[in-house]
Amino acid sequence: MSNNIYISEKYLENILYDMKEIVEQDLIFMNPKGEIIACTDPDRLGTVHYGGKKVAKTGKDLVIYSDTEFKGAKKGINMPVRLNNTIIGVIGITGNSNEVEKYVKIIKRLTEILVKEGYNKDLEKNEIEKDRIIMDSLLFNDMELEESHVIKYENLFNIRDNIPRRIIVATIAGHEKKRILNKDKVYRLFRMLLKREQTVISLSGNNIIIMVENMSNNEINQMIDNIKTEVRRQTNLHLKFGIGDVQTELVHLKKSYMKASDALKWSILVTKKEVTYYDDMDIEILLNNIPIRYIYEYISKILGDLEPSEYREYTKIIELYEKYNGSIKKISEELFIHKNTLQYKINKLFKITGYDMRKLHDFTVLRTAFILKKFYKMNNDYILHRTEN
């Protein structure tokens, strides 16, 4: 094989045995040194074929008419195998030339096609493994990265430091079972669609993690739109994305990942948005990190006496109160109720909870409680789905 190209010897052997069924003759595959590295005649494995060595050097087919013409050779036809215009080996068909010459073109072409296919598969496997190692080292390493480690990553993986990067975490919307069943298919689509230089993609659990470099929000939005469209077209699945903040140093990239994960979690549990930027979050940052037991205690204290139907009704009123900055006129118009009816409902909420949304402090308390109530419900549903599936 060429110094820079490696194809599995087992893969080559499988190719030869498959083709032997076509030509009904023994076949051998030699590296450029003439060493037989795969064959259908086990006795010849590991020996040197000097005719094959000549073919690798000249790049020309060689017909051998007797078993004594070249050391280590048998009569037959030997042909160079090229990959990307480079001779990576030689394939030989054993037998009388007049019997095997009819197979020469098809065997040579078929070998080059299959070798290229195997090489591309190996390349893809190597790229996937490389990306996984990069992500594991930068994002999931419990040890704090040192400067010496960063230099090693730069040299080993050609990942440059001190460049603006951010992490995107994506997942399939819907039940956990849907994520488990489809994650590999969607991951392959991501890899096919994202060929941008310095973009690293890895699968972690049921999430797909993307490290992008020097991309504006508009560029990220365009990239995500393309991904969503193609994934939906090929799989009919919907995706959600969390976008982390920009970090310029590799040692700090884990922060971007944590923030992207928070944004995705909020997107899954609370909002209906497909894409959530951490930079667009404000109070959500705080709410997203409150322990569940405190959330339950808070909503029980503030909203504990509300009936389910009342909760749904006041959720809408609270949202509109914030949207229209407390304008009773605009809120009542959107709800198609009289202003006095709206005032009655606001007074009723005050009697039930002890908080008057017309007061800034009380509105903040109520709004927070309604947000947390929604978050708490969605979080419990999310945990339930994970348990059931």
Q: Give the length of the chain.
A: 389
Whole-angstrom distance, CA of residue 146 vs CA of residue 278: 26
Helix (H) or strand (E) holding 200: strand 200-204
Alpha carbon distance 168, 163 (integer Å) = 16
| pLDDT of amino acid 389 | 38
Q: Which residues does residue 201 pair with via DSSP β-bridges, in sequence order?
A: 210
Cβ pair 242, 210 in contact under 8 A: no
Above pLDDT 90, what percent of the chain? 50
Give, for 231, the enclosing helix (H) or strand (E): helix 217-235
Q: How far is the C-alpha of 213 from the C-alpha of 210, rounded, in Å?
A: 10
Give me the residues of the chain with pLDDT under 70, please: 1-6, 120, 122-123, 126, 142-157, 196-198, 377-389
User: Which pLDDT does position 382 carry in this prediction?
Assistant: 45
**Rounded CA separation 221/14 (Å):** 45
Q: Residue 235, class by beta-carbon neighbours within 10 Å (0-12 exposed, 13-18 middle, 19+ buried)?
A: middle
**Distance separating alpha carbons of residues 222 and 23, to the nearest angstrom:** 52
Domains of the chain and CATH, by start? 9-120 (3.30.450.40), 140-281 (3.30.70.270), 292-388 (1.10.10.2840)
Determine the pLDDT at residue 330.
96
Q: What value, to the nearest 5°, has the Cα angle with vertex 277 and ends 312 and 135?
A: 125
Q: Is 335 exposed, middle or buried, given 0-12, 13-18 or 19+ CB atoms closer than 10 A?
A: middle
Contact 337, 316 (CB under 8 A): no
* Spatial distance between the Cα atoms of 101 and 63, rounded to a whole number of angstroms: 9
Q: How much helix, strand and coil, in percent to the nearest 5, is found in the chain?
A: 60, 15, 25
